[in-house]
Amino acid sequence: MNENEDYAMVREQAQRFLNDAMDPEYLRALLEAPGSFDGRTWASVIEFGWPAIAVAEEHDGLGLGWRGLCVLAEESGRKTASLPLVPSAVAAQLIFAHADRAVHQEDGAALVSGARYACLALARTDDAGLADPPELHLRGALLHGTSALTPFAASADYALVAAQDGETFSLLLVALAQPAVSRTPSCAIDNSRAAAELSFDGARVRVLATGNEARTAFWRAASLAALATAFEQIGGAQTCLEMARDYALERKAFGQPIGRFQAIKGKLADMYIRIELARGCALDALAALEQGDPSWLGLAASARVAATDAYEVSARENIQTHGAIGVTWEALPHHHYRRSRALGIELGAAIMWRERLLAESGFASAA
């Protein structure tokens, strides 16, 4: 990423902090219990102002845009940090863009400061696709239904929700600290994501958009999250490549480093190619977004598909390069495998984003 001084400083700060904060013992502890949330690290990043990085200065943000958030996402991915930076930034963007600021100013300000954070309850429960149509329904002005397993829902203060009110599609912000909302944490492949199902039994909501405006805002929100998550996946994949490379140079078999064997060389080369393809897609999408080019939506979908592939392949091949030690509790490769699988479905599976890419490119689904 070609960065100016501001973004380079953000990256350097993130690297220094996360290198110290994300030690192996601490990461393993977060995997122990379903619904675990890394409150210690979140409290630290609030002091750094990370929740405000993508928000415009007029809303008391740092004004570094989505590129600033993507820098933090990539560095978080390298260390498998689990922070609600992306969902909170997406929710804040929607609040300031669609809500009556006089009514919702407090919500947006709380997200910008980091005092509160959000989750994105946008996925369906059937096939890990995004909500079109959603599983949640408005009856009158109250929300009913159960969300899919949603990262950070076990402890978040707000949920961004898509719901149907008869024939009308709506995008909603729901405060989760109300009696009509219940959370059910579930054991998952990556328990550090604070994942839970949200059940709504007549929950009060704040309407951000309805109808066609809501659908447009919905896909913009999902695509913004997908783009930032692509950088998080690229960061994780890059670490997997470096871990595999270092181990291949250190581990010896038949009197020589295993990195000299063609099978290992092939794995490393394949990982590198997939990562660079994903990085190119993500940088193209980010550039288009910053330039106001509407093609960024399709480019974000391609970045999502490529980054999911790069991380899942790199995490798998990293374990294969390490051999049996790669899956042990003491080793780190399994952390990235867990995270790659979690990130690969949280915003909808790759097949859904391929369909989205076709739609944005003007092609009908082959199915």
pLDDT, the chain, mean: 91
More confident residue, 362 or 99: 362
Give me the domain span that covers residue 133: 118-211
Exposure of 75 by Cβ count < 10 A (0-12 exposed, 13-18 middle, 19+ buried)? Answer: buried
In a domain, 348, yes or no: yes
What average pLDDT does range 349-367 have in this prediction?
A: 78
Q: Both 349 and 243 in a single domain?
A: yes
Q: Both 224 and 349 in a single domain?
A: yes
Q: Which of 23-37, 155-169, 274-288, 327-341 has the highest mean pLDDT?
A: 274-288
Bond from prior residue into 151 cis (ω within 30 degrees of 0): no
pLDDT of 84 reads 98
Q: Both 226 and 278 in a single domain?
A: yes
Structural domain tally of the chain?
3
Q: What percent of the chain has pLDDT over 70?
A: 93
What average pLDDT does range 248-253 have in this prediction?
A: 90
Backbone dihedral angles phi then psi of residue 363, each to the nearest 5 degrees: -105, 140
CB burial readout 200-237, b (16+ within 10 A) else e: beebebebbbbeeebbebbbbbbbbbbbbbbbbbbbbb
The per-residue pLDDT for range 9-63, each reduced to its tens digit, is: 999 999 999 999 999 999 999 998 899 999 999 999 999 999 999 999 999 999 9
Task: Examine the pLDDT at 363 and tell me if it is beyond 80.
Answer: no
CB burial readout 286-309, b (16+ within 10 A) else e: bebbeeeeeebbbbbbbbbbbbbb
When pLDDT is cut at 50, 70 and 90, the band that residue 284 belongs to is very high
Q: What is the CA radius of gyration of the chain?
A: 20
Indicate the residue among 196, 211, 226 that finishes a domain: 211
| Residues ≥6 apart with Cβ < 8 Å to 23 | none
pLDDT of 366 reads 42
Q: Both 243 and 290 in a single domain?
A: yes
When pLDDT is cut at 50, 70 and 90, the band that residue 367 belongs to is very low
In a domain, 365, yes or no: no
Q: Both 73 and 139 in a single domain?
A: no
What average pLDDT does range 343-355 have in this prediction?
A: 91
Task: Examine the pLDDT at 127 and tell me if it is beyond 50.
Answer: no
Indicate the residue among 171, 191, 211 that finishes a domain: 211
> Is there a contact between 151 and 128 (Cβ–Cβ < 8 Å)?
no
